[in-house]
Structure 1
Amino acid sequence: MKYLSILLIFLFLNSCQYFDKKVPSEKELLQKELKSINWKEVDEYPSVADCEKVADKKLRQQCFFQFMTSLIQQKLDIDTLSIMYPELDTISVKVTVFPNAALKFEPQFPSDSVAYNTIKIDSVLRARLVDFPKVNPAIKRGIPVKTQFILPVIIKSKKIK
């Protein structure tokens, strides 16, 4: 019993070092966590119902981009952009997907775009790029986030007979 009490006292005195550790502050923990997050990438990319069944992250992203590009091309095929500007074969469209699943489309013109009536092209794009299917926003750490990307949209030339 004497040895047991000495052993317990010895363990008790040595265990004090475990209680005397410095606990990091809330701000330090927050800063450490914020530095560890990669803000350039999302956990899940935006998606549409047709692409939800794809399991692979990269393939789902590619499916979404192809879906959006082809849908924008279909909506612009019914317009006269290719007739008005035959030299204009591709338009870059900046697509913004907001956390509430709203979409915003902005045409991106090159800096030497004085040959085009950018205001007219912009108004045509805004008029045509409506009524899109529901888009699920991107997810970062379980929270819907805003994402932006630029899609090159090929304007198919129409033959005038």
Structure 2
Amino acid sequence: MGTVQRFLVFLFLLALGSCNFFESKENRTQELINAELREMDWNSIDSYPLFLDCDETATKPIQRQCFERKITHHFEATLNEFEFTVDSERNAVVDVIFVIDAEGKISVVDIIKDASILKQMPEFDGIITQSLKSIPPIAPALKRGIPVRTKFKIPVQLNTK
């Protein structure tokens, strides 16, 4: 075999070997990513959904307080417009369960209430759902810098007679 032929065979073998090198490096990278994803706590978030006037650099507890205060204030303002009052001897609390998706859109999942509240205010669910359509813009929660879907439950205290 001549020098040129040996050189061409060497280049061919080098090319084959380097393809395997890059492929195995890509496989190792994917394995590391998969391991990281398996170890990640998907039930917690790094930052809460935020309204424009909440501080994104604040600690998680402060972000949560700001978010809950704003959403509760929005529900209270809506309910005050309709002057809902329930005939009840005990506290009338309604749990509103909603989701904020990765784009910051909010939607009601469920509204848990006593049967007597449903009987007295059959339009309650529709008003709450409609109220959320007029909520100020919300930035979604973040997990490792990536917007994620989050689910919340907010108790709403109704006025009683």
Q: Give me the TM-score of the superposition, normalised by structure 2.
A: 0.69
Instruction: Report the count of equivalent residues.
Output: 133
Q: Is residue 114 from structure 1 mapped to residue 112 from structure 2 by the alignment?
A: no
Residues 49, 138 of structure 2: 8 Å contact kept: yes
CA distance in 2, matches of 1:41, 1:51: 20
Could you say which structure has the higher strand fraction?
2
Which residue number corresponds to residue 46 of structure 2? 43
Q: Is residue 93 from structure 1 mapped to residue 96 from structure 2 by the alignment?
A: yes
Which residue number corresponds to residue 105 of structure 1? 108
Give CA-to-partner distance per residue, 1:67-114, whole Å, 9 cap, x none: 1112111111111432xx32262211112111111111344225xx33
CA distance in 1, matches of 2:82, 2:41: 41
Task: Select which of 155, 158, 161 maps to 1:155.
Answer: 158
Unaligned 5+ residue runs, structure 1?
1-21
Q: Structure 1's 57 and 101: CA in aligned 2 closer, same or farther, altered over 3 A?
A: same
Residues 46, 135 of structure 1: 8 Å contact kept: yes
CA distance in 2, matches of 1:54, 1:86: 44
Unaligned 5+ residue runs, structure 2?
1-23
Q: Give me the TM-score of the superposition, normalised by structure 1.
A: 0.69
Which residue number corresponds to residue 145 of structure 1? 148
Over the matched positions of the two proteins, sequence identity in percent amounts to 26
Which residue number corresponds to residue 34 of structure 1? 37
CA distance in 2, matches of 1:108, 1:139: 25
